[in-house]
Structure formats: structure tokens, C-alpha cells
Amino acid sequence: MSHGHDTPVPTWTWSEEKLQKILNKARAGKSLRPDFWPENGKCAVALSFDSDHDTFELRDGGRSVSALSQGHYGARQGMPRIRKILEKYSISASFYVPAITAIHYPDEQKAHIAEGHEVALHGWIHERNTLLDYTTERELMFRSADTLEKITGVRPVGIRTPSWDFSDNTLRIAEEMGLLYDSSLMADVDCYELLLDGKPCNVVELPVEWIRDDAAYLVMDRWGGLRPQIAPHDILQIFIREFDAAFDEGGIFQLTMHPDIIGHRSRIWILEELIQHINARGKVWFSTHADIVRHAKANAA
């Protein structure tokens, strides 16, 4: 299984101490599954949207006007469609917003807060954290938080790293910032405590998974050979099965979407039909990632 490294690393020569040090950079600690969910919910539903918009291309220099327009679609068309559905079903969701997105679309972020949603950190310009040194990553994370707070009037309490790219320093900086949670890692399906250098820290993980991400199925690489291969109906079935399992377990159903991906006319129905299926199963608690983490942290079994 490839993890994107081209040059073999002689890990077979490393000591157990060195291997353990790598594992301890951001390790999963105890599970924080609560005994109950608010509103008599059988499970918690955490819908989220990564508002990358233009930043996905701006990050790499903004050389493609076509790609910039594709990102702009997320703000012009995708986001209004998403907000309309959330309002229709009275659902609170979390929006992970690069600071540059917030600067370019401030009214969008203000509307999220006014409508009861969460606006959380998603980098400065959708940068790759593992390419940054500690000082640069820290400065960008703090600057991003300041920017979101200035625009929305609310200090963000959570982070989802751009592309879920988690550096050796990310967790340490998140704790320095006093963040409540991260939502970039994949060690569980329930909230869990994060271990920094083998010791519990104050940041809780609400895990993601590529299985529960629209981009994994629907993104097309213009210059490469990557093309969407799964029909929207089949994607809905994957999401439904993930939810059904969460419902049966009494856990969390977390989903990541992107306005410029899910927000197309031939795809947005996935979100609405999924919500209808969720509501038909029984009572659930739709909430923001931040409130789900707060509840899990306070009521873990």
C-alpha cells in the first residue's frame, strides 16, 4: 500500500524507541463515546462542509483561471443549495473555512453563524501542513483563527487541517491555541482523546474518513487519469450504510462534503435523500462538531 513516498525508507533498521516516537505524535487515547445523546437521539449526526472555494487553486499560485472559476462555483451555487437544505430540515452543521475564503466571502461566514452553524479552522490558504516548519504553521493557524473571529465575531474552537494533512507540530499548536477539538484523523468512529508524546492533551478528536467524503468519489483530475467512477446513487448507498451502522451502534455519523463538489444539481439530491433516510430511521441528534465534542467529553462512559 503506497502512502505517497517515492524513496524507500529503511524503517527496518529503526529502534523500537524511534518507531514509538513516531506513533506518539498524535496517538488515539481512550474512547469518548457517551452513554446518551441529547434530544433522545439514538445517535449523533455531524454534517460538515469544507469551504475550500478558490483556495484550492490559489494555494498553488492561482495559475488556472478555469480552476478558480470551479472553486467560485462552490460559493455562488453550491453553498446556497446546501444552506437551503439545512434550513429546510432545521439542521446545524459545521463549516471548515480557510481564512482566505472567509476574507473573500465574509457574508457567507456571517450567515453561517446567524443560522446556528459552526465556522471552524481549515488553514490559511488550504496549505499543506507537512510542508511547513513549526513557526510558519503556528503563525498561519493563529492568524487564521484571528481572521475568522474578526469576520464572524466568534472564535473558532475546532480545526480540520487542509486535505487532512497533519504535521508533526499540528497537535502541539492546536493545544497551544486552546482548541477544543480536531477533525482530521481517522483512528476511530467515536470521539477520542488525543495523546501528544504519549500523554493525554486537551484536544479531542472527532474522526473523519475518506469513505465518508464526497471528494473521494466525485473529484476529477483535469490533467491526470483520475475520473469519477462511482454513480451518485451508489455514493448515497455508501453513506446510508455508514449512517445505519452508526445508528445501530448508538455512535456518531460524521460526513465531509464540499460545496463545489456536492453542490451540483446532479449531486445535491444525495444530501437531501440522505437526510430523509436519517429522519426515517428514528430520532437522532443533528449538531455541530463542536457541540458533539463538548457532549462526548462531558458524558463519556
Grid coordinates of 67 = 480552476
Sequential DSSP letters for 56-70? HHHTTT---HHHHHH
Indicate the pTM of the whole model. Answer: 0.95
Helix (H) / strand (E) element for 83: namely helix 79-88
Q: Give me the residue spans of the domains in the chain.
A: 31-299
Helix residue ranges, H only, 168-267: 170-177, 215-218, 232-249, 259-262
pLDDT of residue 229: 81
- Count of C-beta atoms within a 10 Å radius of residue 301: 10
Q: What local confidence, expressed as pLDDT, does residue 62 receive? A: 82
Each of the 301 residues of the chain gets a pLDDT tens digit; together they read 445 566 788 999 999 999 999 999 999 999 999 999 999 999 999 999 999 999 988 888 988 888 899 889 999 999 999 999 999 999 999 999 999 999 999 999 999 999 999 999 999 999 999 999 999 999 999 999 999 999 999 999 999 999 999 999 999 999 999 999 999 999 999 999 999 999 999 999 999 999 999 999 998 877 777 777 889 999 999 999 999 999 999 999 999 999 999 999 999 999 999 999 999 999 999 999 999 999 999 999 7
Phi, psi of 54 (to 5 degrees): -70, -15
Determine contact, residues 223/233, Cβ cutoff 8 Å.
no
Domain 31-299 has CATH 3.20.20.370: yes
Three cell numbers written together for 174? 492546536
| pLDDT tens digits for range 234-260 | 999 999 999 999 999 999 999 999 999
Task: Print burial letters for 172-208: b (CB count within 10 Å at least 16), e (below 16).
Answer: bbbeebebbbbbbbeebbbbbbbbbeeeebebbbbbb
Q: What are the tens digits of pLDDT across the range 125-180?
A: 999 999 999 999 999 999 999 999 999 999 999 999 999 999 999 999 999 999 99
